[in-house]
């Protein structure tokens, strides 16, 4: 049996979350098509409520909680987007949410969590510190852990973005999605290959956080000893669950340099008038910089989020 949630679970998740999320648009850009030599279809999760695709997974899990467990609330750890999504979805269900956030996360993301009603708990920027802080809260409150990606309910709901992309834009030859912990890419692959057998699914990853690329090459999970990327949403490592899905389904992972991430961010802003964060820019860079053969093809590009302080990356004076 294939690893991960079924396509039926993705359909069920889509029905569950539909009243609480935006069905985000699919945008085109003639100048970027010309540059890529392909037809690009941008799934704009940067325009999602809370500013990223993470709302899909968070909403699915929180609205699946049993009535006896929900009042105790939820806990997660997050560099920002998943935390904001958990806080938002928890507020819609009327339950508390505790979000463990690395101290080096962008202030715009921490503020969003607080604005949506989540309680922010800061920790050192390591997975060990995140896990320890989350465990302490769980033991103290009896809340439910909602992992950012190591959860079938989260993975299933992340795949709903690709369902919408294909329903709204038609068949694709290739779909590109960022990879960090692997939840979005796993859900993307299951949804895309269920709807379009033979489609190529490509993960896009910063060269400074290349654990997924190395893991698929070696056949075992490889951790990052050091992470060095401005794509703060792509600093996590694969879980056993997501690694098993990606090993079965992904055609390749391409690596994107830091300067390529910045160039892609600015290009989308200038040509499409869309604000995307660095984690979104890896897919754009892969499509535009010859990282893969897309000539003449229909290519789905997942823009995963748009929560960014532009002044941090560009001097507009």
Q: Active-site residues: which are they?
A: 54, 79
What is the distance between the alpha carbons of residues 281 and 262, in angstroms, rounded to a whole number? 8
Q: Give the C-alpha separation, 215 to 131, whole Å.
A: 22
Rounded CA gap, 78 and 109, in Å?
10
Which residue is it, tokens 């912990």? Answer: 181
What does the block give as tokens for 166? 């294909």
Helix (H, G, I), strand (E, B) or coil at 40: strand
- Token digits of residue 195: 């709807």
Q: Answer positive or negative: Cα dihedral of 107, 272, 255, 182.
A: positive
Comparing C-alpha atoms, which of 266, 279, 271 is closest to residue 306? 279
């Amino acid at each position: 049996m294939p690893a991960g949630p079924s396509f039926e679970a993705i359909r069920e998740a889509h029905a569950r979350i539909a009243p609480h999320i935006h069905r985000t648009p699919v945008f085109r850009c003639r100048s970027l098509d010309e540059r890529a030599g392909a037809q690009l279809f941008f799934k704009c999760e940067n325009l999602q409520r809370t500013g990223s695709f993470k709302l899909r997974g968070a909403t699915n899990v929180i609205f699946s909680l049993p009535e006896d467990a929900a009042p105790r609330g939820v806990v997660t750890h997050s560099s920002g987007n998943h935390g904001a999504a958990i806080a938002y979805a928890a507020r819609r269900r009327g339950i508390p949410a505790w979000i463990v956030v690395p101290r080096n996360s962008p202030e715009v993301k921490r503020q969003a969590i607080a604005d949506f009603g989540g309680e922010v708990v800061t920790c050192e920027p390591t997975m060990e510190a995140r896990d320890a802080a989350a465990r302490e809260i769980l033991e103290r409150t009896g809340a439910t852990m909602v992992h950012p990606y190591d959860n079938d309910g989260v993975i299933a709901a992340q795949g709903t973005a690709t369902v919408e992309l294909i329903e709204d834009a038609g068949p694709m030859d290739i779909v590109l999605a960022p990879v960090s912990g692997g939840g979005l890419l796993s859900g993307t692959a299951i949804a895309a290959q269920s709807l379009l057998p033979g489609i190529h699914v490509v993960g896009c990853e910063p060269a400074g956080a290349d654990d997924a690329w190395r893991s698929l090459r070696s056949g075992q999970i490889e951790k990052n000893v050091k992470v060095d990327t401005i794509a703060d949403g792509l600093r996590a490592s694969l879980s056993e669950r997501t690694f098993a899905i990606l090993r079965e389904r992904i055609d390749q992972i391409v690596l994107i340099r830091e300067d390529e991430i910045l160039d892609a961010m600015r290009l989308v802003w200038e040509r499409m008038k869309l604000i995307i964060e660095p984690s979104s820019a890896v897919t754009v860079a892969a499509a535009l910089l010859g990282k893969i053969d897309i000539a003449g093809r229909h290519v789905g590009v997942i823009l995963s989020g748009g929560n960014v302080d532009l002044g941090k990356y560009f001097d507009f004076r």
